[in-house]
Structure 1
Amino acid sequence: MTTRPAARDLAGLARSLVIYRARPWKNRALARLYGTILRPGDLAFDIGAHVGNRSRAMLAAGARVVALEPQPLLHAFLARDLPPGATLIRAAAGAREGTGQLAIPRLHPTVASLAPGFAAEMGTAPGFAHVRWDAAETVRVTTLDALIAAHGAPRFVKIDVEGFEDAVLAGLSHPVGWIAFETLPALPRVAAASLERISLLGRYEFNFISGETRGFALDAWTDAAGIAALLARAARSGDVYARLIREPA
């Protein structure tokens, strides 16, 4: 028997739709940004698809998309909502295949996390004091390597998984052309570990987009040390973009 979503879960979904889908001009700007990264027919991975605004922007840029979303309600929404060209998988990504315990704040599902202790650590961080992680779900965990084996090598991997970015990147052993991962000022160690992992894959250069803006913070791309210095000064969350210059010899 199918269980109907509770009012609190539906309110969280509605809140996310208002934030991420009710401002079409922002989504068009995101598609233009992705159009500078992706070429028609390229493959992109959306790790932590949430309500699909990033997947839709990748599709609008002409890419094929593999989208991962482990939350049951959001996955069910995406299964009905994502346009053709997207392959939707109900799973999270991590360092190894298996299962994990996803902490979910039902009114704020955008900050669900597999990171151990995330709720306790972020509960007192600026901007998170109002969030209650009041549900949990055991979810399937795959790896970026497994996705590449199943679907092919992507040109672009976007990772937004609330403090679990370093674990996702630990499951990648292949250099890819572009990687974007979210950073949170309260979790500098996650950003540091993510940069270290990317640097092991090949020679990359980096830039940063603050918050939900669509422009890069740096006029000239920089190395891992340069982007780490920028992140140390950043007061807002955002996305680090890494583009491959040279694969390892």
Structure 2
Amino acid sequence: MDRWLGLARSLIIYHNPATIRGWRRFYGQILCEGDVVFDVGAHVGTRARAMRKAGAKVIALEPQSLFASYLRLTLPKDITLLESAVGGSDAVAEMAVSSRHPTVSSMQSKFVAGAATAPGFDHVQWDSVQRVQMVTLDGLIQRYGLPSYIKIDVEGFELEVLSGLSRPVPMLSVEFLPGFPDLSFAVLDRIEELGRYKFNPVVGEDAKFLWPEWRNGAAMREWLAGLPADAVSGDIFARVVQD
């Protein structure tokens, strides 16, 4: 029963009409017809649907069996769905699952261990483990082509996802969790190892950039460091700097 309540909760929060409209408008401004995009951690498919509406060719990846089953039944048929996690190698891995709060299920053991004392996570229990197939971003690129954009929302596992990418992509976004700033700083380091990027945050489900201009990594780190631990999470967008 808990798992179905978890799915219902996610649909209420992330798949309501206002949120869907906001992300459709947002992606319509930054994506072009025919763009290849990867949605890593598709969850209930809100972003995948919005990117498709913008004309993109969407490859959606979701390892949680409950959500993958829901997506298989509800996603438009021209969205490619892979029931896989993304990491540093092609392997079988274990994911800690929260039945009541499945949106925070994670493959990052440090995140799960540290969440018990982090603001906003004290009510969460990871009550089961699911074995999942893991693929790499490099492998996905070899199969589907270089994406214009990669969205990564994997509850603390972002660095491991990026470890399987060996070249810059035009744009990507990664979730930031204010209670875990060190994870975000490590992710920024990895992005800057891949290429020259500028950054812009999106807070919560606002579906709009916080800053009118894109800023460098130092400014992004300063902003993150100033967030209280109980601040709203969101996405860090990174756009490659054109020479």
1:81 maps to 2:74: yes
- Alignment check: 8 A CA contact 2:14 2:46 kept: yes
1:106 maps to 2:70: no
> Could you tell me which amino acid in structure 2 is paired with residue 64 of structure 1?
K
Task: Give the TM-score taking structure 1 as reference length.
Answer: 0.93
Give a deviation string over 1:66-104, Cα, whole Å, max 9, x none.
Answer: 011001111111111101321000110012221211001
1:236 maps to 2:236: no
In structure 1, stretches of 5+ residues that fail to align are 1-6
Structural mapping, 1:62-77, within 5 Å: 62-77=55-70
Deviation at 1:121, TM superposition (A): 0.7
1:245 maps to 2:241: yes
1:115 maps to 2:111: no
Deviation at 1:119, TM superposition (A): 2.1
In structure 2, stretches of 5+ residues that fail to align are none
Task: Give the TM-score taking structure 2 as reference length.
Answer: 0.96
Structural mapping, 1:28-47, within 5 Å: 28-47=21-40
Pick from 8, 11, 19 the counterpart of residue 13 of structure 2.
Answer: 19
Runs of 4+ off more than 3 Å = none
Deviation at 1:54, TM superposition (A): 0.8
Bigger mean CA offset, 112-121 vs 60-69:
112-121
1:140 maps to 2:133: yes
Between the two proteins, the alignment pairs up a number of residues equal to 240
Deviation at 1:173, TM superposition (A): 0.8
Aligned to 1:206: 199
- Alignment check: 8 A CA contact 1:202 1:246 kept: no
C-alpha separation between the residues in 2 aligned to 1:59 and 1:231? Answer: 30
- Alignment check: 8 A CA contact 1:195 1:224 kept: yes
Aligned to 2:85: 92
Identity value in percent: 47
